[in-house]
Amino acid sequence: MTDRHRASSTRRFTFSAGHRYWVESWSREENERFFGRLTVPHGHNYTLDVTVHGPIDPQTGMVVDLGELKRVVGETVVDRFDHADLNADALFRGRVPTTENLAIAVWDLLAPKLGADRLWQVRVWEDPTLFVDYRGPDA
């Protein structure tokens, strides 16, 4: 095998977090009209898929050390957000904690640790019918 063999490897994580949708500069009526029931605090059991892309190491046969990926995502994302109020997290100051913004926050936390050139995609599932894929600001 040579460096020309590249692949993507995805690891799945879960965490539970609460939030509500609310734009501070809007009136209560505007928030309720736009977001409806989502203005009330509620929670989700999120699923997070983190995909790393790169050359397959000729010795290990792997794109990434899966144990290290599990450790980094666990310490950086899961420990931070599990059973947390996303609205209270500094990453959501000034922005609504939507699934889209959660995906961006996860990327921003992981890219410096995994390498923006290796982090390929984060997929955040809010429930079995809704997910967001994010591939970084330059995608």
For 43-102, the pLDDT digits (tens) are: 999 999 999 999 999 999 999 999 999 999 999 999 999 999 999 999 999 999 999 999
What pLDDT does 2 receive?
52
Q: Tell me: pLDDT of 3 over 70.
A: no
Percentage of residues of the chain with pLDDT beyond 70: 98
Q: How many CB atoms are closer than 10 A to CB 105? A: 23
Q: Is the whole-model pTM more than 0.75? A: yes
Instruction: Answer for the pair 24, 14: CB distance below 8 angstroms, yes or no.
Output: no
Contact 49, 69 (CB under 8 A): no
d(CA 127, CA 14): 11
Domain membership flag for residue 43? yes
Q: Is residue 139 part of a domain?
A: no
Q: List pLDDT tens digits, range 5-45.
A: 999 999 999 999 999 999 999 999 999 999 999 999 999 99
**How high is the pLDDT of residue 139?**
77
pLDDT of residue 104: 98
Q: Does some domain include residue 23?
A: yes
More confident residue, 4 or 132: 132
Residue 35: inside a domain, yes or no?
Answer: yes
Domains contained in the chain, number: 1
Q: 3-class SS at 104?
A: helix
Q: Residue 86 domain-assigned?
A: yes
CATH code, domain with 79: 3.30.479.10
- Is 96 inside any structural domain? yes
- Report the C-alpha gap between 139 and 136 in whole angstroms: 6
State the pLDDT confidence band at 4, using cuts at 50, 70 and 90. Answer: confident
**Residues spanned by the domain of 79:** 6-134
Mean pLDDT of the chain: 96
Show Cβ contacts of residue 131 under 8 Å, excluding neighbours closer than 6 positions: 47, 99, 123, 124, 125
Note whether residue 1 is domain-resident.
no
Q: Average of pLDDT values for 127-136? A: 98
Answer yes or no: are the C-beta atoms of 44 and 70 closer than 8 Å. Answer: no
